C-alpha cells in the first residue's frame, strides 16, 4: 500500500513531466485523516502516507501540468469488506453512510481534473473528516476504539 504507490509514481511521473501533462489518483481513505484504532495498524498508516505523499507531490509537480490527488472515500460498496471479513458487521451501518464505487470514482476523477490535492468523497465523510480535526484527539481516539471493536476481527 506504500511501496506500490511510490514505485508506480517513480516509474510514470517522469513521462508526465516531460509531456507537461499528467494525472495521478491515489486511493487513500477517510481513515488516513483520523486517529487510528486498535486492530487497524497498517491500513490507516499507509493511507495517511498516500494522502501526504499525494499532497506534497501535487504541489511539487503542478508547475509541469501534472495533477496529483489523494481520494479519501469512506464506506464504499465494493469487495473490500468481503476480503477483510467484515461484510456482515458493516452492512448494519445506515445506508446514508455508503457511496457506490462509480460515485467515488467520478468524484475522484473530477477532483484530479480540478487540481485538488486531497479530496474526501461524500458529504457525510467530509463531515467526519472535519469533526476528526476539530474534536479533541482523545475523544476521537476513544470513539474510534469503541467503534472498532464492532467492525474488526481481533
DSSP assigned state of 35: -
Cα 48 to Cα 2, 45, 82, 90: the distances in Å are: 10, 5, 23, 22
d(CA 61, CA 125): 28
Query: Is 86:147 a contact under the CB 8 Å cutoff?
Result: no
DSSP-based three-state secondary structure for 73? coil
151 is a catalytic site residue:
no
d(CA 123, CA 114): 18
Check 21, 43, 77, 151 and give the catalytic one: 43
User: Active-site residues: which are they?
Assistant: 43
Amino acid at each position: 500500500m506504500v511501496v506500490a504507490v511510490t514505485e508506480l509514481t517513480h516509474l510514470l511521473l517522469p513521462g508526465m513531466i516531460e509531456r507537461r501533462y499528467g494525472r495521478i489518483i491515489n486511493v487513500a481513505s477517510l481513515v488516513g485523516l483520523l486517529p487510528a484504532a486498535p486492530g487497524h495498524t497498517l491500513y490507516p498508516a499507509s493511507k495517511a502516507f498516500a494522502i501526504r505523499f499525494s499532497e506534497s507531490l501535487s504541489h511539487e509537480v503542478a508547475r509541469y501540468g501534472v495533477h496529483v490527488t489523494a481520494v479519501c472515500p469512506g464506506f464504499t460498496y465494493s469487495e473490500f469488506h468481503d476480503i477483510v471479513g467484515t461484510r456482515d458487521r458493516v452492512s448494519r451501518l445506515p445506508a446514508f453512510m455508503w457511496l457506490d464505487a462509480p460515485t467515488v470514482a467520478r468524484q475522484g476523477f473530477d477532483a484530479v481534473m480540478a487540481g485538488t490535492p486531497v479530496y474526501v468523497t461524500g458529504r457525510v465523510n467530509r463531515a467526519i473528516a472535519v469533526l476528526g480535526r476539530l474534536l479533541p484527539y482523545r475523544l476521537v481516539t476513544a470513539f474510534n476504539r469503541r467503534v472498532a471493536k464492532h467492525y474488526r476481527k481481533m
